[in-house]
Amino acid sequence: MVYMTIRLVGGEEDKFFRRIVLDSQIKLDELMKEIQSVTIIPPEFQQIEFRSEELPDNLHPLESINDFENIVVKHSHLCHWNAYLNHVKKFNEAQEDETKQNSAESAQRLYNKLSGSSFFIVYPYFDIAVTKHHKPISKYLDKHARWIEDAVKNFFALSMFNRQNPEIEFEETISEKLPAVICKITVNSITHKYKITALNNAGKISQASRWDDDLIELYCYKLLESIGVGPRIVIIPHCVASELILYIGSEWLSDFQSFNSTEQATTTEITHAVVQMHLLAVILSLCDIHEENSGLNANSDPIILDFIMSNYRDPKNRFLYDNNIICSIRARDVLLNCDSTTRLQIAKDAIRKWNLMDKLGKVLELMDKEDFCRKMSDFDKKKQDLDQFVENVRSNIVEFSRD
């Protein structure tokens, strides 16, 4: 056995995973799994160097490694990131419609390729940057907004507010990356406001995910709602080409303050909110939580408006020592100044406050009663995955509570 360091390069700064113990006779496939467990890069996107040369395709590629040597790893799609930025620049500078259209479509294809390879999870700095860059691209292409609006009109007029003649209007979307609409429904002089996003666009970000994520994603939204960390959720079904598509409707929170506008909160309140959101992100495998979709309510409680599913390994270690799960420079600075003992105590207090173990089961029971869930394709497999997901979350909470 040897001690070694995995050095992740290509981001804003290199990241070192030190004191990793491996057998020098480790097989290549097992080594790639170990690299994935710490860097999140799926094996098919790993570029690995050892002693300044590409790692050889040998059965035991590290058999000559010495204690405390490095292997250098980067994501193979780094070149696509630079190409993506070039197309975004061309899009922003384009004067002709054809050039603008071509640049937007090329940028979208590269964005899909990057998202589908866990690139933005591996490099949180780029995830923050793409939030700014991709908003005009998504708005320009706007491929799915009409579907969402059609589903929303049918749902609120024919189901939720049936026979009440609701007035339904849509506002300009504020979505950064996923297609979304803002909907206002007025019934009996009372106005309800929702942000509607496409569920099925979410759980595809990581090809390394072990599960079909759509039912799990629904569960996580309902769980956050049940513990007071998320808004009230309505599930909006829509049938397109004989396939059931589900949208998430998040009720607008008038007292929500994003991290960009929480100057009134105290340092202690910010620290507790960040650590609690960090906890939920790692134990539920939530990513794409950033400064606009996370923050505080009027009571300085944490709020997560939306997210994308991921697949984090070793959640306790990530909770105690990782500072980049939430894509926010402010959150990262808070976590850098919060040691593992303080984090763990905040986590234990939050788990008790939320009655989290009990809520896991109650929300699962509610999901079992939802008719739309059973209409999903391959429902039995999805339900098995959800049951296993919940069991894993339970085990993680027990692990947190043990120390």
In the prediction, which pLDDT does 138 show? 67
Note the pLDDT of residue 82. Answer: 93
Is 364 a domain residue?
yes
In a domain, residue 225? The reply is no
216 within a domain of the structure (yes/no): no
Based on the domain organization, do 196 and 247 belong to the same domain? Answer: yes
Question: Is the whole-model pTM more than 0.95?
Answer: no
Residue 57 and residue 164 in one domain: no
Would residue 30 count as lying in a domain? yes
With respect to residue 220, please indicate whether it lies within any of the assigned structural domains: no
Note the pLDDT of residue 344. 94
Token pair for 266: 């105290």
> What pLDDT score does 141 carry?
63
User: How many domains in the chain?
Assistant: 4
User: Of 57, 76, 95, which residue sits at a domain end?
Assistant: 76
Task: Tell whether 363 and 391 lie within a shared domain.
Answer: yes
Amino acid occupying residue 163: R
Statement to judge: residues 199 and 327 lie in one domain: no
Is 370 in the same domain as 308? Answer: yes
Final residue before a domain boundary, out of 87, 121, 141: 141
Q: What is the pLDDT of residue 153?
A: 84
Q: Do 305 and 394 sit in the same domain of this protein?
A: yes
Domain extent for 163:
145-208+230-251
User: Which among 197, 218, 251 is the end of a domain?
Assistant: 251
pLDDT-flagged residues of the chain (< 50): 143, 175, 200-212, 240-243
Statement to judge: residues 88 and 174 lie in one domain: no
Containing H/E element for 377?
none
Q: How many other C-beta atoms can be found within 10 angstroms of the C-beta atom of residue 162?
A: 10
Domain identity same for 114 and 157: no
Predicted pLDDT at 133 = 85
- pLDDT score for 144: 55
* Structural domain includes residue 219: no
- Side chain identity at 96, as an amino acid letter? E
304 three-state secondary structure? strand
pLDDT confidence of residue 53: 85
Determine, yes or no, domain membership for 36: yes
Largest pairwise CA distance in the chain: 76
CB atoms within 10 A of CB 156: 23
Asked if residue 223 is part of any domain, the answer here is: no
Torsion of CA 223, 225, 230, 233, to 10 degrees: 110
State whether 103 and 152 are in the same domain.
Answer: no
Question: Do 205 and 220 touch, CB atoms closer than 8 A?
Answer: no
CA atoms within 13 A on the CB side of 106: 18
Tell me: the pLDDT tens digits for 130-175?
A: 877 887 776 666 545 666 787 788 888 878 887 788 899 988 665 4
The confidence score (pLDDT) of residue 403 equals 64
Q: What pLDDT is recorded for position 210? A: 35
Do 279 and 387 share a domain, yes or no? yes
Examine the domain organization and report whether 368 and 336 are in the same domain.
yes
**246 and 158 in one domain?**
yes
**Number of C-beta neighbours around residue 212 at 10 A:** 18
